[in-house]
């Protein structure tokens, strides 16, 4: 019979045979039944947990087909997130508060997930503003893949002086005397940005465990139940996988993870994959954590770095031979693979290699795919389909659409990427974020982008012929993404036999105004029939997490994605619907241990006004 039943819900199953329901029953981590309340409640026993959804919308758990959870989790507790903050004034107020809280020699890091266009001011902070806010504490701010801003304290910490040579692939801006100003530019790639960030202090293993748990809970708060981790720079296997493997072994994963392995050394790509294919069999693991193959870096020469402020990079001659050597190893050993490819010109050359290998070693059945594909042509979509591949799309254009339109024109941006054409031509398509650096991990921002065709700055990029309706967009974020980890037969739909992964939403995705989609969260998230997150009236159902470590962690003060919470704070409205003066009791916080408190102090007093202590569940 049923272990868990959720009733009184408006359930979107995405099962075309039974698209709507009002109740769902779970047994042994799988969906047992979905239907009307009378039928589903008949499966209850005295031991069944029954949850009243109070008429809220319930959807399949969201699945990010391209993110960097493993690397992001190791660092989450150290990061001040500007994701969702809608004015630079608010962002700088947060920065000043965190500077006061951060002890030496730690840094204050704002590591991506935002765009200058999301701010009302439509600009980044100046170096003078950073130096005024933090004269002694190192501050590092990463903006997309194009630049990093370092205050003078950060320049001292990393040792950049007038004698520091210009790094390969990057540019250090200097003043008239030759001294670094604090602006680092990716030109033509982001190596200088990431190499500089890597110089900062790291959390000890115990704190990294805590940090990863809090990052997973943050994803659960947004309705995410599964991800495909695309590896990443400075994420070595197996060295940097010990934390996530321990959490898996201890049964503390709250997000299902399929992970790809990302080669780290130019010239050593074949050796990496030769070694790794001897260590891991294809799709080794279990339903909570599973190996998913190679990529998104297969060979360094094939990486067409995208900074839409810069001209399109031309891949070097000889790329084809290097890529072929790697793809042959993977195809022979039946490893799935993915590749980072932004521009159609790069994709054409990559597909030439794949077609050549396919003539000797068929790729069909591997579920290989291309990541990003912003400017892919119809002809190349057809070539992907013919080889049995897929395309994973991310909402990078929501953050960079203005730059793309400025360089290539408004007409070119209309089908960048051509998501509608991909679906019409029958290619598997999955949605994701490419978080945590180039875009936010918030799936609702991606859904907003797919539905509206707008950037966070409000630029209307797409016409009706490249926008999706809400159900189509949700399907890409659920069942669509499941194909990319070979799990389309058990994940992404709410039907008997599929994983019992679902989210009860804070607002009805199908009824709220389009502009409000990006502010949706989950009030109840379930993975494998287990409650992993609850907010508001569902807060007591969720397991408690230990406090974020260290004590000065920005997560303790600000949490993660901000969404409308700062604007709500200014009017005294919060997700739990209450506020109270500093020093007074907060029953919700005492009961759930799942609220954030912000109290006005010092420079922050003007920011928060006289609202006192504001609590909202996370």
Supply the pLDDT for residue 609.
36
Residues contacting residue 84 through CB under 8 Å, at least 6 positions apart: 114, 118, 440, 442, 445, 518, 561, 562, 563, 564, 565
Q: pLDDT digits over 75-99, tens only? A: 999 999 999 999 999 999 999 999 9
Q: pLDDT digits over 416-445, tens only? A: 999 999 999 999 999 999 999 999 999 999
Supply the pLDDT for residue 233.
86
Are residues 428 and 571 located together in one domain of the fold?
no
Are residues 137 and 262 located together in one domain of the fold?
no
Exposure pattern of 567-591 as b/e (b: 16+ CB <10 Å)?
Answer: bbbeeebbbbeebbeeeeebebbee
Q: pLDDT digits over 230-276, tens only? A: 999 889 999 999 999 999 999 999 999 999 999 999 999 999 999 99
Summarize the confidence of residues 9-32 as an average pLDDT.
98
Are residues 467 and 568 located together in one domain of the fold?
no
> Which stretches of 323-463 are assigned E, i.e. beta strand?
338-341, 369-372, 390-394, 429-432
Are residues 55 and 128 located together in one domain of the fold?
no
Q: Tell me the pLDDT band of 580, cut-offs 50, 70 and 90.
A: very low
Burial class (CB within 10 angstroms; exposed 0-12, middle 13-18, buried 19+) of 525: buried
Q: Tell me the pLDDT band of 307, cut-offs 50, 70 and 90.
A: confident
Q: pLDDT digits over 566-575, tens only? A: 554 543 333 3
Q: pLDDT digits over 369-382, tens only? A: 999 999 999 999 99
Are residues 276 and 328 located together in one domain of the fold?
yes
Is residue 78 in a domain? yes
Supply the pLDDT for residue 306.
84
The CATH number of the domain holding residue 39 is 2.30.40.10
Are residues 154 and 54 located together in one domain of the fold?
no
Is residue 57 in a domain? yes
Q: Helix, strand, coil shares of the chain as percentages rounded to 5? A: 35, 20, 45
Q: Kindly tell me if the per-residue pLDDT of 526 is higher than 70.
A: yes
Are residues 55 and 74 located together in one domain of the fold?
no
Are residues 97 and 19 located together in one domain of the fold?
no
Summarize the confidence of residues 149-155 as an average pLDDT.
98
Q: Kindly tell me if the per-residue pLDDT of 42 is higher than 80.
A: yes
Summarize the confidence of residues 124-130 as an average pLDDT.
98
The helix (run of H) or strand (run of E) holding residue 49 is: strand 49-52
Q: Containing domain of residue 114, as a range?
A: 67-197
Supply the pLDDT for residue 566.
58
Q: Tell me the pLDDT band of 606, cut-offs 50, 70 and 90.
A: very low
The CATH number of the domain holding residue 258 is 3.20.20.140
Is residue 494 in a domain? no
Q: Kindly tell me if the per-residue pLDDT of 357 is higher than 90.
A: yes
Are residues 168 and 210 located together in one domain of the fold?
no
Is residue 314 in a domain? yes
Is residue 546 in a domain? no
Supply the pLDDT for residue 433.
98
For residues 249, 251, 254, 256, the Cα torsion angle rounded to the nearest 10 degrees is 50
Supply the pLDDT for residue 565.
57
Q: Kindly tell me if the per-residue pLDDT of 293 is higher than 60.
A: yes
Summarize the confidence of residues 497-518 as an average pLDDT.
98
Is residue 185 in a domain? yes
Supply the pLDDT for residue 615.
40
Are residues 192 and 214 located together in one domain of the fold?
no
Instruction: Give the chain's mean pLDDT.
Output: 91
Are residues 377 and 328 located together in one domain of the fold?
yes
Task: Say if CB 186 and CB 313 are below 8 A apart.
Answer: no
Q: How many domains does the chain have?
A: 4
Q: Kindly tell me if the per-residue pLDDT of 108 is higher than 80.
A: yes
Q: Kindly tell me if the per-residue pLDDT of 140 is higher than 80.
A: yes
Is residue 492 in a domain? no
Supply the pLDDT for residue 169.
81
DSSP annotation of 298 reads: S
15/34 Cα distance (integer angstroms): 10
Supply the pLDDT for residue 234.
84
Residue by residue, DSSP assigns 380-403 as HHHHHHHTT-EEEEETTHHHHHHH
Summarize the confidence of residues 531-558 as an average pLDDT.
97
Residues contacting residue 128 through CB under 8 Å, at least 6 positions apart: none
CA-nearest of 71, 363, 20 to 212 is 71
456/467 Cα distance (integer angstroms): 16
Q: Kindly tell me if the per-residue pLDDT of 581 is higher than 90.
A: no
Structure tokens at 192: 């200088």
Tally helices (H) and strands (E) across the chain.
Answer: 22, 26
Is residue 404 in a domain? yes
The domain boundary, picked from 455, 485, 515, lies at: 485
Are residues 603 and 511 located together in one domain of the fold?
no
The domain boundary, picked from 167, 197, 227, lies at: 197
């Amino acid at each position: 019979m049923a272990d868990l039943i959720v009733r009184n819900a408006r359930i979107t199953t995405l099962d075309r045979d039974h698209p709507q329901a009002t109740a769902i029953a779970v047994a042994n981590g799988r969906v047992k039944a979905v239907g009307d309340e009378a039928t589903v409640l008949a499966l209850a026993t005295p031991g069944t947990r029954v949850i009243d959804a109070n008429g809220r919308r319930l959807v399949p758990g969201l699945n990010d087909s391209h993110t960097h959870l493993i690397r992001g989790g190791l660092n989450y507790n150290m990061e001040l997130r500007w994701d969702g903050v809608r004015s630079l004034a608010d962002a700088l107020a947060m920065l000043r508060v965190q500077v006061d809280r951060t002890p030496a020699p730690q840094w204050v890091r704002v590591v991506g997930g935002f765009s200058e266009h999301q701010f009302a001011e439509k600009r980044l902070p100046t170096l003078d503003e950073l130096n005024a806010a933090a004269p002694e504490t190192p501050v590092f701010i990463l903006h997309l893949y194009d630049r990093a801003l370092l205050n003078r304290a950060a320049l001292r910490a990393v040792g950049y002086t007038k004698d520091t040579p210009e790094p390969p692939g990057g540019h250090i801006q200097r003043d008239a005397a030759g001294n670094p100003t604090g602006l680092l530019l990716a030109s033509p790639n982001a190596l200088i940005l990431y190499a500089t960030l890597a110089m900062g202090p790291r959390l000890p293993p115990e704190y990294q465990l805590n940090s990863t748990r809090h990052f997973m809970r943050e994803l659960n708060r947004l309705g995410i139940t599964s991800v495909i981790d695309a590896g990443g720079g400075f994420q070595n296997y197996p060295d940097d996988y010990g934390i996530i493997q321990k959490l898996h072994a201890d049964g503390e994963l709250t997000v299902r993870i399929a992970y790809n392995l990302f080669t780290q050394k130019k010239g050593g790509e074949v050796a990496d994959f030769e070694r790794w294919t001897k260590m891991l069999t294809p799709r080794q693991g279990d339903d909570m954590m599973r190996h998913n193959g190679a990529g998104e870096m297969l060979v360094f020469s094939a990486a067409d770095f995208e900074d839409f402020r810069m001209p399109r990079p031309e891949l070097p001659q000889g790329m084809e031979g290097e890529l072929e050597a790697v793809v042959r190893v993977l195809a022979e050993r039946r490893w799935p693979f993915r590749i980072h490819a932004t521009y159609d010109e790069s994709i054409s050359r990559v597909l030439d290699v794949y077609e050549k290998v396919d003539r000797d070693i068929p790729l069909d059945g591997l579920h290989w795919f291309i990541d990003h594909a912003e400017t892919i042509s119809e002809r190349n979509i057809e070539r992907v389909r013919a080889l049995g591949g897929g395309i994973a799309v991310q909402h990078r254009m929501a953050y960079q659409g203005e730059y793309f339109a400025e360089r290539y024109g408004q007409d070119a941006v209309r089908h960048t990427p051509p998501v509608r054409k991909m679906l019409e031509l029958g290619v598997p398509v999955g949605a994701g974020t490419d978080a945590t650096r180039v875009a936010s991990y918030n799936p609702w921002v991606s859904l907003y982008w797919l539905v509206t065709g707008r950037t966070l700055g409000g630029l209307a990029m797409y016409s009706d012929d490249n926008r999706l309706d809400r159900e189509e967009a949700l399907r890409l974020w659920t069942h669509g993404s499941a194909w990319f980890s070979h799990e389309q037969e058990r994940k992404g739909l709410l039907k008997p036999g599929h994983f019992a992964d679902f989210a009860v939403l804070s607002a009805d995705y199908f009824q709220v105004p389009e502009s409000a989609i990006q502010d949706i969260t989950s009030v109840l998230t379930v993975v494998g029939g287990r409650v992993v997150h609850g907010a508001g009236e569902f807060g007591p159902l969720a397991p408690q997490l230990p406090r974020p470590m260290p004590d000065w962690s920005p997560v303790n003060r600000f949490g993660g994605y901000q969404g409308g919470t700062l604007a709500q704070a200014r009017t005294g409205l919060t997700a739990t619907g209450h506020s109270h003066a500093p020093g007074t009791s907060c029953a919700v916080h005492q009961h759930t241990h799942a609220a954030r408190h912000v109290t006005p102090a010092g420079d922050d007093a003007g920011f928060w006004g006289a609202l006192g202590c504001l609590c909202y569940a996370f």
